[in-house]
Structure 1
Amino acid sequence: MTTTRRALLGTPALLALPARAQAPAAILAPSGTLRVAINYGNPVLAQRDPATGAPRGVSAELAAEIARRLGVGLEYVAFDAAGRVTDALRRDAWDLCFLAIDPVRAQGIAFTAPYVIIEGTYLVRADSPLRAIEDFDRRGIRIAVGRGSAYDLFLTREIRQATLVRATTSPEAVEVFVRNGLEAAAGVKQPLVAYARANAGFRVIPGRFQVIEQAVGIPAARQAALPWLRGVVEDAKASSFVARALAASGQTEAEVAPQAR
């Protein structure tokens, strides 16, 4: 167990939460091990520990807490893009995932209420004439996106005139934008801001084109366990578990989602 996880799980507020009934374990982890999809393509939610290579971040910590309450083993299944997580559902590769809520994904995945809210925006060159979110849906504007990402799904529905250029992953979308001279890259705000800080000649558009609601998901066929899982997520938000996990992984700008009504 990492030092971060021990610190999070050892806090009085979390230990005070009641243990849940074991019945959902048969639904969520029929093998006795909870296989959790971790998407490293979203660094706000998941990162590799630089010393051990193990998953860290709010997704990994929440996964460990869910497995603890179920009383089952835990296995992390790594992915580098959200689209690959959804593709892997067809192979029965995971039991639980952490993805943004989207109507396309909801056709096969049952979601809790969100636990974290992040924003989607654009990265452009410093000398770009594009200044506001409203400037981008125009003919001749090419926007790089990570295939199957929440913002790819959203922009596919919303964009009418600009062209979306899909890369395999979100980090690769930034590379495609730079290498091919596209007008913009769309993505999660925090990694785009980090890129602009580390690379002169780029800037991030203020504002957002999308509020991205990150939630816990399970295969739709297992939604009988969803009420139990929703309760765990709401407990984790109310007890500040999610806030502490974000802070411990350096993601203090991400917003904890409000309690579900």
Structure 2
Amino acid sequence: MLKKFFRRHCVVAKILPNFEAVLFIDADIGVVNPKRRIEEYMDSNFDVVFYDRFYNWEITAGSYIVRNTSFAVKFLENFAKFETRLPESFHGTDNGGLHLYVAEVLYPSHPRIKKCEQVYQRSANYDDLFSFEACIRSILGPKTDFDRIRIMHKGTGWSRDNWLTNSLWNAERDFMIHGWKTNQYLRTPMDPGIIESSRGAWYNPLVGPIMLEKCSPSNSSWDYDPRLITPTSRIKKKLDDFEREIDKSQILSLARISKFL
């Protein structure tokens, strides 16, 4: 079970030399707005682009963009090998390991990395794991651009969690949505509202049957459910309010690391 999480990054490293760039995405991420382009998030100054998960302070391991460069290939190969370094603790598989790996790549001699690693080695649950990640993020700081690596601020990447706005979206700001699992799909209510019903449930943004024979790059005339389209101002307020609460939680989570040292 564990190997598959790191093996997927090894696969990307192997196929990357055959392409100009590769967008890696989790299986439950889908395009909601085909008029956006992934090129909007690519920059020739950066070989690897991540984005922050919105509901906490994690770097998302489930989706990234890599350009065909020797740096990106080596970065992914070494990340895949990080499986052998996972501690005998609640380590969070590749998402947890990514944080220590990125910190070592960017700041190999930083004295606080070892302290963060102590937290990681003693992690017993999600609270401990998030404290370790808060420790790493305190090293990285608020900046987004690090030499050949970019970590986009939460809410500015190409995908976001569906439940944050209870499946409501807007074409002016949204491109891809994360969290579309078949077993968590629900029938859309008449007035879904923007407050999440759960962190797993989602509603289909499309109406009518999906005709695969019409799926092509030239066809962007998708039929959307109007009940799930909402003004960008409404989405922004919901996400801004949520981000403020996450910032407070990150500070409290970082304060917990003293119990491990």
TM-score in same-fold range (> 0.5):
no
Which structure shows the higher strand fraction?
1
Q: Which is helix-richer, 1 or 2?
A: 2
**TM, length-normalised to structure 1:** 0.28
TM-score by length of 2: 0.28
